[in-house]
Amino acid sequence: KVIWTLLVTILGYASSLPVGDDSICTAEELAKYSIIFTGKWSQTAFPKQYPLYRPPAQWSSMLGVTHSSDYSMWKKNEYASNGVRDFAEKGEAWVLMKEIEEAGEKIQSVHGIFSAAAISSGTGQTSTELEVHSRHPLVSFVVRIVPSPDWFVGIDSLNLCEGDHWMEEVSVDLFPYDAGTDSGFTFSSPNFATIPQDTVTEITCSSPSHPANSFYYPKLKILPPIAQVTMVKLKKSQLGLSAPYINPPAKSNEVIDSVSETPLDCEVSQWSSWGLCRGLCRKTGTKIRTRFVLLQPANNGMPCPNLDEETGCEPENCV
């Protein structure tokens, strides 16, 4: 009886232990995927302060890893590592690669690293292949938004295994994140380190709640996706192909052209002081104040109001 009671207790305790996202994968040991990154950062979807030059809107190369739940490249509401900081701020991958390699050596949590070429405009595609393992079915990656202070898009620990099989295809809309290491508000902000460092946060149409924020669109409920990633499982007959899977051009154009137009209202400065009263003595004169355009409207946004205003006055210093 004592042995039986002890056995039941041990089994009950074991069943109550937390189970990682990847611990129940019973699919075939290895699977290969094509990963396609599509930039949707257009001037139509994101008209505010859209970078047209020095440098124009573009995407860095992609750096990703397939891993188990023992490893995390980055996580929302947690502090970015030194490697993620360097990548998000400067696009430098060396420290992040070193962090990935060290995690793989210490706890065997990493199966492989993958990368894809940069995109020289805000819209376009890049692709590569990745391999997942039944003990390492999670995918994480980062792509830097260029130009930006420390903004990026990416995926944190997406599980491609569903019990006894691998997912055939999965698409995820991507939204901007702030690495929490630089305090700039705009795409072209100068380097201004965040001290103390903040956690990784999602940038939304209302957060940071500041009109200077390049993604600040207070009339929207949510930002349109700035990018999308699609992972397609390769059939065994496709393995070893030198050319990666890429969506047909027609489908790609449909994706980019279907982005909704984001209206941008005109923004104007405060009124200047009233000018001098002009007119004849002992008769009503006029004085004028002016303001100027801070932000031109776009995509049927609210047009600019009058930039000057006139009112009556009594001329001063009349003899």
Is 150 in the same domain as 73? yes
pLDDT over threshold 90, residue 142 = yes
pLDDT tens digit sequence for 283-314: 888 888 888 777 767 777 778 888 888 898 88
pLDDT tens digit sequence for 155-183: 999 999 999 999 999 999 999 999 999 99
Is 185 in the same domain as 288? no
Q: Domain range holding 157? A: 31-233
Confidence category of residue 262, pLDDT binned at 50, 70, 90: confident
Please give the residue that has the higher pLDDT: either 282 or 224: 224
Is 112 in the same domain as 175? yes
pLDDT over threshold 60, residue 251 = no
- pLDDT for the residue 319: 58
Within a domain: 25: no
Beta sheet of 110-116, edge-to-edge order: 110-116, 58-67, 138-146, 151-159, 177-178, 201-202
Interatomic CA distance for residues 159 and 137, integer angstroms = 6
- pLDDT for the residue 307: 82
Is 201 in the same domain as 273? no
Kindly give the interhelix angle for 82-90 and 94-107, rounded to the nearest 10 degrees: 150
Within a domain: 2: no
pLDDT tens digit sequence for 19-76: 344 458 999 889 999 999 999 999 999 999 999 988 999 999 999 999 999 999 999 9
Within a domain: 190: yes
pLDDT over threshold 50, residue 102 = yes
Is 164 in the same domain as 220? yes
Within a domain: 67: yes
- pLDDT for the residue 21: 47
Q: Is the peptide bond before 51 cis (omega within 30 degrees of 0)?
A: no
pLDDT tens digit sequence for 173-231: 999 999 999 999 899 988 889 999 999 999 999 999 888 899 999 888 999 999 999 99
Is 165 in the same domain as 272? no
- Identify whether the C-beta of residue 183 lies closer than 8 Å to the C-beta of residue 191: no
- pLDDT for the residue 318: 72
Within a domain: 193: yes
Of 11-15, 101-105, 230-234, which one has max mean pLDDT? 230-234
Q: Which of 41-50, 87-96, 251-260 has the lowest mean pLDDT?
A: 251-260
Read off the CATH number of the domain in which 53 is found. Answer: 2.60.40.2130
Q: For the chain, what is the domain count?
A: 2
pLDDT tens digit sequence for 234-250: 987 655 543 444 443 33
